[in-house]
Amino acid sequence: MKKRIFLGLGATMIVALIFFVTAWFYPLWKMSAFEISGQNHTLVEEVETASGVSIGENFFHVDSIAVAKSISALPWVSSVNVNKHIDGVLSIELTEHTVRLYTETADGDVLIDEQGRPFLTAARESGMVKVSGNEQDTPEIYRVVLAALEAMDPMVSARIVEVAAPSSYELTMILDDGRRVYWGSEENLNDKAIALRVALTRGEQSLDVSAAPVIAVR
């Protein structure tokens, strides 16, 4: 009985090995389609090309990790998840950079992602806030600016068109009507956000909320 079981298992393993070898060298399992999601700025064609694979290819040869690594090199891609499905579909889910800031350079506008990292030279879009004064392109300054904007009421932050930031301790918010509000450092963010909301109701051209809740004329 044990001998029969052993022979049966051996035969099964041989059949499986033959199937695997055949499938590896001959396209029994072909890639049938791409399924791409999450793209906004990235073109589908860019993703397909960057993947390095094509429809009809032997699906056994498609390395999901290698595909993800190649696609992650695309400028707008922050992260990517790649999965192979039994029906031959290669699903690719992208997460793109979220951009709220930009800075002007001699080469054009440089976009800054949600981590405060400059990542792409491209035309800015509506709603992005300009950061000026960061001559050394210091990521820490961008991070502090993002934290300040995040602390504000959305209706208030929507009115900020520029942040003058020569250092992380000297932020000045410039409004859409040209008024300026000195913010200072990243300390006491919530009180400063409340003070800024109040400052918007005042008529002075230059105010200071760095010592919030006190609002001073600057």
Residue 27 has pLDDT above 60, yes or no: no
Residue ending a domain, choose from 61, 96, 131 = 96
Residue 70 has pLDDT above 80, yes or no: yes
pLDDT at 15: 44
Q: What is the mean pLDDT of residues 191-214?
A: 95
88 shares its domain with 128:
no
33 shares its domain with 86:
yes
**CA 159, CA 150: separation in Å to the nearest integer?**
13
Q: What is the CATH number of the domain that holds 92?
A: 3.10.20.310
Domain that holds residue 125: 101-217
Q: Which of 107, 110, 88 lies closest to 23 in space, CA to CA? A: 88
Give the tens place of pLDDT for each residue, 87-137. Answer: 999 999 999 999 999 999 999 999 999 999 999 999 999 999 999 999 888
41 shares its domain with 67:
yes
Residue 48 has pLDDT above 90, yes or no: yes
Orientation angle between helical segments 44-51 and 64-71, nearest 10 degrees? 130
pLDDT at 182: 98
Question: How many structural domains does the chain have?
Answer: 2
pLDDT at 13: 56
Please, which pLDDT band fits residue 19 given cuts at 50, 70 and 90? very low
112 shares its domain with 66:
no
pLDDT at 136: 86
Q: Is residue 4 part of a domain?
A: no
User: pTM for the full model?
Assistant: 0.79
Residue ending a domain, choose from 47, 65, 96 = 96
Rounded to the nearest 10 degrees, how much is the dihedral formed by the CA atoms of 58, 63, 68, 73? -90
E strands present in the chain: 33-37, 77-84, 89-96, 101-105, 108-112, 118-121, 129-132, 160-164, 171-175, 180-184, 206-208, 216-217
Q: Is residue 59 part of a domain?
A: yes
Question: Which tokens is 44 given?
Answer: 């589908």
pLDDT at 146: 97
Q: Is residue 58 part of a domain?
A: yes
With vertex at residue 81, the alpha carbon angle to CA 75 and CA 84, rounded to the nearest 5 degrees, is: 130
Query: 């990243």: which residue's tokens?
Result: 186
Residue 20 has pLDDT above 70, yes or no: no
163 shares its domain with 107:
yes
